Structure 1
């Protein structure tokens, strides 16, 4: 009895019972989770490729602030703040007050934000400083708005744009290194004296992250952060249309064939009309794929976009489905060479083998939703490959046309068969000619 009484009076039991009685706790938890948009990558994901989630030059936001290898950029951040204020001709207190009005939402954007960042000036100072730095970097890259930095400035000059800014651009792709675009919105509202800068900010970030200026969906308000801007632009465009259902009598086929195997079965590849990752279609034996540039930042970009989809409820799995689709399409250097020849892949990482290795490492431990947007395309392609004439074609090509020696052997066999037939015909004709 004494033991039971001690348990009933323990602090742990009292705390849990209080939580059970609090009917508002679940609603508060749900509201807090909805505010999250910037996450720490779990170890089960990060351990596969730690470098892909680690900023190399600059920290944005609190998660990597103060790390030794990122501290040299802090002096440049402070300097950019001074330039920004001097040009804006408004006191720092106005900008701090505007950002401070949204500080609760900004703190809520970071999942697992430490107590040392909450409810004090430290977080507000970080948001204003990093926000001004980001605006200055993007405006300098635009080369039309900022011109009050020295010609030998290590960051905000032509030299800095060539050697430093590309690393800043890559660090802006890290899911742990994001800054809410709400900060930029508040800063621009004070600087310009007007509200409603959402589309301006989205466009500025996109032009900086993607000089090729992929289309950006408009009319949906301010994006969450730079990575969200990039994701929206990559998915902007036509969605996969309804595919013709495969034959009902066909057996289930979960095989995902490589590009070379599909080509051997008669599938042809063409470049889609848009760069949207959703613009993948299969029509009349032709697979249309959006173009993708494979460079030094592609791996970082796709891995962080997939991590965002995995961690952010409601984000969907469109980028993950695309990566899974392409990883299965590209098994070897020959697949990369085939897609490069069709202008689907623009390979700037070196050899075709290096590009194939990049794709093969993207979908390790990938969790794909049960309703992938590319399931219909997959079924349509498999239904086409199951047709008898396409299977025969694939076997013929795979057996006799994979190498020059196989082709020469086939040609020699056909030549010998033709000569044998001609000799037989000649013998028969001569026999009947002699007896006539």
Structure 2
């Protein structure tokens, strides 16, 4: 007769068989609680969930109907069947799951369906946003770009770290489509660049974006991260910094502030010999 210790051993072995190893591909995860508790709203989507982290949020369920509308339109405009899109995502399921911190509570069926719905929504939103002067991509039913103009909240939601999809699946789904007909079809990199530069101006993505390698971009937030990497990696000895001094304190200590010609926000240089702190201009507007 099986003892209690035998059942415990068997239970642990079964759990070890189904557990997921930590993945070095993980790039989409929850914001640390020490940041979230300072301002919950800054990290939580207002209108639409993208990906698994906020998928079960009841406050965001209303946009699921809009996702279905976009999927219908996406399929109608492409030469790819639902089966073709699902098969593609199924082939990439393990890679997709590895991009997230946790997806264990999703069955394979629900996970694939969520990725398809959310990915198509993001692609269609970027297309409609960038082609907003064309009535071809905007139907009268679309409340995102017509009253009550939900695009204002959507554009913020798709830029939240917890609300991301792996960029590669967006590229592959976009690449399968013929959604722009015979006209030159923009790449997802171009659609993303146009979105950021039109919505937030040169401080987000400026004029020299074409010189940057985006081949390894992980998601939309990572797109901005790659763009704003310092153009020059400076090597300095490690210094112990207890607290960051304020601008007033630096000025009182004799530091001179110099405006840089660079448009990259992280191109900040400090000349210790001359006491010069050089940094680019940040233009603050209502939408910033």
Query: TM range, normalised to the smaller chain?
Result: 0.7 to 0.9
Separation (CA, whole Å) in 2 of partners of 1:41 and 1:233: 21
Separation (CA, whole Å) in 1 of partners of 2:25 and 2:243: 40
Quick check: which one's helix share is greater?
1
Q: Cα offset for 1:135?
A: 0.9
| Equivalent pair of 2:127/2:137 in contact (CA under 8 Å) | no
Q: Normalized against structure 2, the TM-score is what? A: 0.78
Is 1:97 matched up with 2:80? no
Separation (CA, whole Å) in 2 of partners of 1:253 and 1:230: 27
CA separation of 1:41/1:297 partners in 2, compared to 1, >3 Å: closer, same or farther?
Answer: farther
Deviations, residues 91-124 of structure 1 (Å, cap 9, x unaligned): 2222222222111211222212133x1322x211
Separation (CA, whole Å) in 2 of partners of 1:178 and 1:93: 24
Deviations, residues 249-275 of structure 1 (Å, cap 9, x unaligned): xxx986643212322343221222223
Structure 1 counterpart of 2:182: none
Is 1:174 matched up with 2:163? no
Q: 204, 212, 215: which one pairs with 2:191?
A: 204
| Equivalent pair of 1:234/1:275 in contact (CA under 8 Å) | no
Separation (CA, whole Å) in 2 of partners of 1:188 and 1:33: 26
Structure 1 counterpart of 2:213: 219
Separation (CA, whole Å) in 2 of partners of 1:262 and 1:129: 51
Report the 3-state secondary structure (helix = DSSP H, G, I; strand = E; otherwise coil) of the residue aligned with 2:136.
coil
Separation (CA, whole Å) in 1 of partners of 2:78 and 2:279: 46
Q: Cα offset for 1:228?
A: 1.0
Deviations, residues 404-424 of structure 1 (Å, cap 9, x unaligned): xxxxxxxxxxxxxxxxxxxxx
RMSD: 3.5
Separation (CA, whole Å) in 2 of partners of 1:100 and 1:169: 28
| Equivalent pair of 2:269/2:278 in contact (CA under 8 Å) | yes
CA separation of 1:60/1:145 partners in 2, compared to 1, >3 Å: closer, same or farther?
Answer: farther
Separation (CA, whole Å) in 2 of partners of 1:10 and 1:294: 65
CA separation of 1:269/1:151 partners in 2, compared to 1, >3 Å: closer, same or farther?
Answer: farther
Structure 1 counterpart of 2:113: 125
Report the 3-state secondary structure (helix = DSSP H, G, I; strand = E; otherwise coil) of the residue aligned with 1:270.
strand
Is 1:154 matched up with 2:143? yes
Q: Cα offset for 1:39?
A: 1.0
| Equivalent pair of 2:51/2:164 in contact (CA under 8 Å) | yes
Aligned residues: 269
Structure 1 counterpart of 2:183: none
Farther-moved stretch of structure 1 (37-46 vs 96-105): 37-46
Unaligned runs of 5+ in 2: 180-185
Q: Normalized against structure 1, the TM-score is what? A: 0.54
User: Which structure carries more relative contact order (alpha carbon 8 Å, separation 6+)?
Assistant: 2
